[in-house]
Amino acid sequence: MSILVTGAGGYVGQELTAALLHSTPPETIITITDVVAPRVPPSAAQHASRVRSIQADLTLPQVVDALIKDSNPYDTVYILHGIMSSGAEANFELGIHVNLDATRYILDRLRATMPGVKVIYTSSLAVYGPTPRGFVIDETNIPPMPSSSYGAQKLIVEILLNDYSRRGFLDGRAVRLPTVTVRAGRPTQAASSFASDIIREPFHGRKAILPVSRNTEMWICSPYTVVRNLVHARDIPREAFGETRSVNLPGIKVTVQEMLDALEQIGGRERRALVEERYDPDVDRIVQSWSPNFNTERAKRLGFAEDIPFIENIKQYTSQFAQ
């Protein structure tokens, strides 16, 4: 068995790589790529001999051609790489080049060299635009209408992946992730980065900026559950998806105030005091375009796991990463 993970240098990519190493047979080889050669996750260091870490600029066709070739077929390909929401909004050309053009080239290279390969694509709730207050989204009751370039790029790839799957070119699964928090590591270019920053940074004694109002509602999911569901996505029979390969993954709805209250409950007032409210209209415009209300019954029928309470999410983070 052979698995490819792009964007494996990021936090979710590292956690997914570790989970795959722990859950797959010992003969499985996992190739991990990013613009900087990803490290072997420390939590799976005992499996280092099964990892091929490759520095790869996936916007270069010749690099993709060397990575994806019929002499070295993959059983599953995870596509995690990309320019995040605020980055794609600030630099349209870069977002299009990385999120759309490079990803389409990867899909075309896969269908040419290993037709029918399983492809798991991390999409986003950003494919949906604003909805009426209280409206609950499922995969069929409202068409995606993104209000950001990032969401538009994700949706275009979803449509391609669905069509390629319909035609038998690939076996695609586009999983729409909630905002993933609490992420370890550094702040990112995602508009939602603050959702991790306001928890992570105070636990390391650092100030965090809150760019939206405290009554903002968000659809979030813990990294633990997201990674668990990414691993599960490869085990679902293709016929179970029906007419669409896109699925909204489970999450929970919280307000920013509830997140801050949980921070204070676990970390104390001194850590809560490290969060500074500094409104950013550009970030707020993007975040307010994301619905916090989702019906994920279809995902549950497909066997995806529900998320843990936010308090447990923070406890899990602090047990692994906090000082």
Active site residues per annotation: 150
Residue 50 DSSP one-character state: G
Instruction: State the Cα–Cα distance between residues 142 and 291, nearest whole angstrom.
Output: 12
Angstrom distance (rounded) from CA 190 to CA 265: 26
* CB within 8 Å of 98: residues ≥ 6 apart: 58, 59, 81, 82, 83
Q: Decide: residue 26, CB within 10 A, 0-12 exposed, 13-18 middle, 19+ buried.
A: exposed
CA distances from 160 to 22, 163, 271 (A): 32, 5, 45
- Secondary structure letter of residue 118 according to DSSP: E
Kindly tell me the number of DSSP H helices and DSSP E strands found in the chain: 13, 12
Please say whether the beta carbons of 47 and 29 come within 8 A. no
| Strand-pair category, 76-79 with 2-6 | parallel
Where b means 16+ CB within 10 Å and e means fewer, 280-307 reads: beebeebbebbbbebebebbeebebbeb
Closest CA to 287 of 193, 188, 153: 193
> Under a CB-based contact definition with an 8 Å cutoff, are residues 124 and 285 in contact?
no
Give the neighbor-by-neighbor strand order of the sheet with 51-55: 51-55, 29-34, 2-6, 76-79, 118-124, 171-177, 246-248
With 0-12 / 13-18 / 19 or more C-beta atoms within 10 angstroms meaning exposed / middle / buried, residue 35 is middle
